[in-house]
Amino acid sequence: MILCVPVTPEETVDPRWGRADSIAVAEVQGGTIEKWQEFEVSWSRLHDEGSPARHHARVARFLRENHVEAVVANHVGEGMVRMLDTMGVALHLEAEGDARAAVVAALH
């Protein structure tokens, strides 16, 4: 399964999903992270450039391009919840602490 999580430079869960600077994409098989790749997305800067719909489209494009099946986050707004639901992307909320551990915990 491919999941993503917003990460800080210390590899903890960034509580700002829609305003995260970096997103990690993890491929998990059998409860083990097989692949971990971090992307600088700069959503903190891009969030307010244009409409919410434009930002959601940017996030959706990232998720599609990386074949993400689930998002692990601390919190997301209602508009993002609707978008993820429409895309069929699972959402695991209230994640905190170590980002890798949060990804694995989301599968249990």
DSSP 25-41: EEEEETTEEEEEEEEE-
For residue 11, give its domain range. 2-106
- CATH label of the domain that carries residue 85: 3.30.420.130
Query: What's the domain count of the chain?
Result: 1
Neighbouring residues of 108: CB distance < 8 A, sequence distance ≥ 6: 31
pTM for this one?
A: 0.93
Determine the average pLDDT of the residues in 56-73. 96
pLDDT in tens, 17-36: 989 999 999 999 999 999 99
